[in-house]
Structure 1
Amino acid sequence: MAEKLPTTVRPDFGADAGTIAAIATAPGRGGIGVIRVSGESLLDFAEALSGKRPLARLATIGDFRSADGRVIDSGLLLHFPTPHSFTGDDVLELHGHGGPLVMQMLLARCLELGARLAEPGEFTRRAYLNGKLDLTQAEAVIDLIDASTVAAARSAVRSLQGEFSREVRALLEQLIELRALVEATLDFPDEELDFLAAADAFGRLERLQQRLSVVFDRARQGGLLQAGLHVVLAGQPNVGKSSLLNRLAGDELAIVTALPGTTRDLVRSTLQIEGVPLHVIDTAGLRATEDAIEKIGIQRAWREIERADVVVLLVDARSGIGNAERDILARVPAHLARVTVYNKIDLTPRAAERRNEADGVAIALSAKSGEGIELLRQELLRIAGWHPAEDVFIARERHLRALAETGQRIDAAREQLPRLELFAEELRLAQRALATITGEFSSDDLLGEIFGRFCIGK
C-alpha cells in the first residue's frame, strides 16, 4: 500500500530557539514602527516591558520602559497567544513611533529581557515549522514583498492563500491513490493488468498527466511574473539601441547622439508588458576598437549576452544585415532566443512588420517614431511563453523543476508497463518530487536557502 505523505510536525526548538525579536517595519523614519516578538508565554515579557498584561488580540496602550523605569516610548501592545498567531508561538507586537533610534532602543530593551535577535526569515520559518504555512505559502510571503508588478502581487497573494498548495495536494492525492491501486495488485501477479484495467488505473494515469500539465503551465506563467525576461539589445554602434531602450521604457534613460560609441557601459531598465517584468539592457556597440574604455564596455556586453534570455540584434534598415551582423549572430549562444530588429524604417519606404527569417524572427520598426514597437513587445511576450491568465500563481525555479521531474517520472512509469514493480517505483519517485514543493518532503539545506533570503523581522 502506498504510504501517505509525512505531515509536518511541530519541532522541539531546543534551548537555543527561545524568544526572538526584530524590527518588522522598513528601516528609516516613519509615523509608526513595529517590533515583533515570538516565543513562549510572552505575558510576563509584556508586563516587564510595560507593566501591563494585554488581553488577547486587543490593542492595549502603554509605556515601554527601560530597566530603570524610564519611558522609552509610548504605544500599543498586541498579544496573539499560541497557537492563534502568525508563527504558532506566542507573538507580541509593539507599535511605537517609527524613528530609527526609538526602534533600536526598544529592540535593545527586548534583548535585555531575554529575547535574541531574529535571523532573516525566522518568523516565517517558525510559521512553517509549526504548520501555520506550508513551504509554498512561506515563499509567497517574500514574493509578495518583492513583487514588481500588479500581476505578480496578485499571483503571490493566490499562492499565499494556498491556491498553489491545494493544486499540488490534489495531484499528490491522485498519485497516492494510483500507487495504492498498483501496489495492491502486486500480491496477485496472475491478474495484475486485468485488475488495473478494471480499476481504470491507466485512465487515472492519463488524467493525472493532464492535470499536471495544467498546473505546470500556471506555475510557469507565475514564475515568469516573478523572474521576468532578461533582454539584451546588441548590435553595431549607432543602430539605435539606446533609442529603442528609451522608447520601450518611455523615458530618456540612455544618452542618444549621432556619434558612434556613445554608449560605453551597460544601461539597465526594468519595465513591464501585460504585467511581465522585462529587464532590458542596452549595451555598447559591438565593433573592433582601440579605445580602452569602449573595449571594457564591449566585454561587458558579451557577458550580458551570454546570460540573457533573449538577444535583440539591431540593424540599420537602410543597410540590412552585413558581415559584421553575421559575425555577431555566429557568436551568440545557439540556445538563446533572438530577434533581429530592422530599425530606422522612418528613413526608408519600409513599413512596420514581423516576419520569419533564416536566423529567426525579424521585426521592422522605428525606435524614433514608435512605429512597430508593439510588434516587438508582443514578440517578446511570445518568446517568454506568456499568455494572459487570471489564475496563475507565483512559482519559483525549484517548483518548476519539481513539477518537471514529476512529469518525467510519470512518463517513465508508463514506459515500464507491464513491469509493475518498476511502474510502482517510478510513481513513488514522482510523489517524492512533487512533495518537495509544499515542504512535506524537504531537506534542512533547502529550508536554510529559502528562509535565508527573507528580511529580518519577517
Structure 2
Amino acid sequence: MVSPDIIAAIATPPGRGGIGVIRISGKNLVNLAEVILGKLPKPRYASLSQFLDAKGQIIDQGLVLYFPGPHSYTGEDVLELHGHGGPAVINLLLKSCLGAGARLAQPGEFTLRAYLNNKIDLIQAESVAAIIEASTHEAARCAVNSLQGHFSARIEALVSLLITMRMLIEATLDFPEDEIDNLKTLQIRERLDHIVTQLEQTLSAARQGNLLQEGIQIVLAGAPNVGKSSLLNQLVEEDAAIVTEVPGTTRDTIQRTITIGGMPVHIVDTAGLRETSDIVEQKGIERTLAAIKRANLVLRLLDSSEHRPVAPDPIQQYIPADKPRITVCNKIDLMNEDPKMEGEGHNSIIHLSAKTGAGIELLRQKILDMAGWQFNHAGEGIFMARQRHLEALTQAKAHLVNAHEYTDTEYQLELLAEELKLAQYALSAITGQFTADDLLGEIFSHFCIGK
C-alpha cells in the first residue's frame, strides 16, 4: 500500500557539482510548494524560481519542474528543484522541504511508489537500478531494454500461453467425457512443448543479461611466485599488483574489474598457497581460500618451467572439485614454447607467458567460453536479469517438465493443472504480479535514496 506521506530526497550524487536536484513526491504538494516557492508552478514547464526557507528567506534559486499525478514518474504529484550543487546549499534546501511537511525518502521509495501505482512493473523497477549500476555500454543498453518493457513482454506472453493451457485443462476436468481424446484434439503436448521452447529462449537471454550486469568473479590461485600478479597486470593492462621474484610478495587479495568482450570480469589476485609459519601470510592464505569459495571461476596457475604431468600438484587440494577452473601454465617464455590451448571444460589448459603477453588472448576467449557469454554489440535480444529472475525462470521450467509427465493418462490431469499453475506463479513473481512484501523490501533497499 502506498504511504500518504510526502517524501523528499537529494537525487544527485554527494559532493560538489554544478547542479543539485531535490525530488519531492506526494498526493498534494500545494502547501509545500507555497512554502518553498511561493506558489505552485505551472505543470510541465521549466521555470526560474527562488527557493525559500520557513521564514521566507532565500536559500537559492534555480529551475523548478512540476508534474501533476498521475502523469509523473511515481504516479503522484512530483516537484523537482534544480539548484546549485554545493553540499551546504542543497542540504539547507532539503531541510526546508522537510520542515514544510515532507519526510526523507527511503532508499528506492520513489521507484517503489511508481511500482505500487502501476506506472512500471517490478522488472522495470529493477532495471532503473541496473541502468545506474551499469559498468559497460552493453549493460546499459540491456537495462534500457528491460526498462522499455521488452523483458516484461516476454514474461507476459509466457503467462498468457499458460493461462490458455490452464483454461483448456480446467474445461476438460469439468467435462471429463473422452478426456484423452480431448487432450489430443487440443494438442496439449504440442502447446506445452512450445511454451518450454519459448521459456528456454527467454532463460538463455536472461542468463546473458545477468552476465552482462553482474559479470563473473575470477580468482587467480597458485603457489607463490608462479606469476599470479604478473597475469593480473597483463589482464588489466596496468601495474595493479607488485611483482618481485620474492615468494609471498602478495599478502592480501587485490581486485580489479575489466571488460572482456563486453562482459564485466572481476579478477582477484591472491596470496600464494603454501604451508607457512608467517602469521601475516597465513591471514592472506585464509582470504585466498575464502575468495576461491566465492568465485565463479578459478584460474589455477602453474609454473610451466617446473610443472610436469607426472609431478604432484600441491594446489589442487585447495580448489573444490566442482569449482569451474582453467589451468594456466605460465612462463612459457623460459621454455621457448609457443602459446597453446589443450583440453575442454575443467580440463582446459592454456600455456602462456604473463611476462610477454603471449597467449593472453587465448585465455580471454576461454574465460568467455567458460562463462557461457555470447557477445552482442547492441545488447539486442537480451534482458537485464538478476539472480531472482533466473531462479524463477528455472523454477517455472521445472514445473513445465513435471507437467509434461502428467499428459499421459486421464488420472493425472489434476496434477498437470497444478504444475501449470505453479509455473504461472513463478513467472508472475518476476514482474511482481505475485510478490511477497518482504521481497519488495529487499529489492528496493538496494536503490539509492533519490530513486
Q: State the AA in 2 paired with 1:256.
A: V
User: Which residue number in structure 2 is paired with residue 156 of structure 1?
Assistant: 143
CA-CA distance at 1:295 after TM superposition: 1.3
User: Which residue number in structure 2 is paired with residue 68 of structure 1?
Assistant: 55
Local SS of the residue matching 1:219: helix
User: Which residue number in structure 1 is paired with residue 152 of structure 2?
Assistant: 165
Q: CA separation in 2, counterparts of 1:328 and 1:147?
A: 35
Task: Evaluate the alpha carbon distance shift between residue 321 and residue 278 of structure 1 in structure 2; reply closer, same or farther with a 3 A threshold.
Answer: farther
Q: CA separation in 2, counterparts of 1:323 and 1:202?
A: 54
Is residue 2:356 matched to residue 1:369?
yes
User: Does the aligned pair in 2 maintain the 1:305–1:311 contact within 8 Å?
Assistant: yes
Q: Deviations over 1:185-205 (max 9, x none)?
A: 112223212112212222111
Q: CA separation in 2, counterparts of 1:405 and 1:357?
A: 29
User: Which residue number in structure 1 is paired with residue 254 of structure 2?
Assistant: 267
User: Does the aligned pair in 2 maintain the 1:52–1:62 contact within 8 Å?
Assistant: no
Task: Evaluate the alpha carbon distance shift between residue 357 and residue 404 of structure 1 in structure 2; reply closer, same or farther with a 3 A threshold.
Answer: closer
User: Which residue number in structure 2 is paired with residue 8 of structure 1?
Assistant: none
CA-CA distance at 1:265 after TM superposition: 1.0
Local SS of the residue matching 2:325: strand
Q: Which of 15, 21, 44 does residue 28 from structure 1 map onto?
A: 15
Q: State the AA in 1 paired with 2:25.
A: S
User: Does the aligned pair in 1 maintain the 2:332–2:339 contact within 8 Å?
Assistant: yes
Q: Which of 276, 300, 303 does residue 289 from structure 1 map onto?
A: 276
TM-score (norm 2): 0.96
Q: Which of 124, 130, 134 does residue 147 from structure 1 map onto?
A: 134
Q: State the AA in 2 paired with 1:231.
A: I
Q: Deviations over 1:238-264 (max 9, x none)?
A: 111000000000000000111111111
Q: Which of 133, 137, 144 does residue 120 from structure 2 map onto?
A: 133
Q: Deviations over 1:298-334 (max 9, x none)?
A: 1111111111111111111112157986232133112
Q: Deviations over 1:169-216 (max 9, x none)?
A: 000001101111111111222321211221222211111010000000
Q: Deviations over 1:126-150 (max 9, x none)?
A: 0000000100000001111011111
User: Which residue number in structure 2 is paired with residue 77 of structure 1?
Assistant: 64
TM-score (norm 1): 0.95
Q: Deviations over 1:386-437 (max 9, x none)?
A: 1123321110000000000000000001112221111001000100111000
Q: Which of 289, 293, 306 does residue 302 from structure 1 map onto?
A: 289
User: Does the aligned pair in 1 maintain the 2:289–2:318 contact within 8 Å?
Assistant: no
User: Does the aligned pair in 1 maintain the 2:324–2:346 contact within 8 Å?
Assistant: no
Q: State the AA in 1 paired with 2:224.
A: P
User: Which residue number in structure 1 is paired with residue 439 of structure 2?
Assistant: 446
User: Which residue number in structure 1 is paired with residue 209 of structure 2?
Assistant: 222
Is residue 2:223 matched to residue 1:236?
yes
Q: State the AA in 2 paired with 1:457.
A: G
Task: Evaluate the alpha carbon distance shift between residue 143 and residue 359 of structure 1 in structure 2; reply closer, same or farther with a 3 A threshold.
Answer: closer
Q: State the AA in 1 paired with 2:111.
A: T
Task: State the percentage of identical aligned residues.
Answer: 54
Is residue 2:28 matched to residue 1:41?
yes
Task: Evaluate the alpha carbon distance shift between residue 323 and residue 102 of structure 1 in structure 2; reply closer, same or farther with a 3 A threshold.
Answer: farther
User: Which residue number in structure 2 is paired with residue 414 of structure 1?
Assistant: 404
Q: Which of 321, 326, 338 does residue 334 from structure 1 map onto?
A: 321
Q: CA separation in 2, counterparts of 1:294 and 1:187?
A: 71
CA-CA distance at 1:457 after TM superposition: 1.1
Q: CA separation in 2, counterparts of 1:349 and 1:73?
A: 69
Q: CA separation in 2, counterparts of 1:331 and 1:304?
A: 11
User: Does the aligned pair in 1 maintain the 2:345–2:370 contact within 8 Å?
Assistant: no
Displaced runs of 4+ in structure 1, greater than 3 A?
321-325
Q: CA separation in 1, counterparts of 2:339 and 2:187?
A: 55
Q: State the AA in 2 paired with 1:309.
A: N
User: Which residue number in structure 2 is paired with residue 435 of structure 1?
Assistant: 428
CA-CA distance at 1:77 after TM superposition: 1.3
Unaligned runs of 5+ in 1: 1-10
CA-CA distance at 1:229 after TM superposition: 0.9
Q: Deviations over 1:244-288 (max 9, x none)?
A: 000000000000111111111111111110111111111111111
User: Does the aligned pair in 2 maintain the 1:141–1:156 contact within 8 Å?
Assistant: yes
Q: CA separation in 2, counterparts of 1:383 and 1:357?
A: 9
Q: CA separation in 1, counterparts of 2:364 and 2:68?
A: 51
CA-CA distance at 1:41 after TM superposition: 2.0
Is 42-51 or 209-218 further displaced after alignment? 42-51
Is 325-334 or 96-105 further displaced after alignment? 325-334
Q: CA separation in 1, counterparts of 2:12 and 2:345?
A: 54
Local SS of the residue matching 1:57: coil
User: Which residue number in structure 2 is paired with residue 5 of structure 1?
Assistant: none
Q: Which of 382, 402, 409 does residue 392 from structure 1 map onto?
A: 382
Q: State the AA in 2 paired with 1:161.
A: Q
Q: CA separation in 1, counterparts of 2:344 and 2:436?
A: 48
Equivalent residue runs for 1:88-127 within 5 Å = 88-127=75-114
User: Does the aligned pair in 1 maintain the 2:21–2:82 contact within 8 Å?
Assistant: yes
Unaligned runs of 5+ in 2: none
Q: CA separation in 2, counterparts of 1:123 and 1:443?
A: 19
Is residue 2:407 matched to residue 1:424?
no
Q: Which of 205, 209, 225 does residue 192 from structure 2 map onto?
A: 205
Q: CA separation in 2, counterparts of 1:95 and 1:356?
A: 59
Q: CA separation in 2, counterparts of 1:234 and 1:66?
A: 59
User: Which residue number in structure 2 is paired with residue 87 of structure 1?
Assistant: 74
Q: State the AA in 2 paired with 1:99.
A: G
Is residue 2:247 matched to residue 1:257?
no
CA-CA distance at 1:45 after TM superposition: 2.0
Is residue 2:449 matched to residue 1:456?
yes
User: Does the aligned pair in 2 maintain the 1:366–1:372 contact within 8 Å?
Assistant: yes
User: Which residue number in structure 1 is paired with residue 391 of structure 2?
Assistant: 401
CA-CA distance at 1:227 after TM superposition: 1.4
User: Does the aligned pair in 2 maintain the 1:315–1:321 contact within 8 Å?
Assistant: no
User: Does the aligned pair in 2 maintain the 1:118–1:456 contact within 8 Å?
Assistant: yes
Q: CA separation in 1, counterparts of 2:256 and 2:115?
A: 35
User: Does the aligned pair in 2 maintain the 1:86–1:132 contact within 8 Å?
Assistant: yes
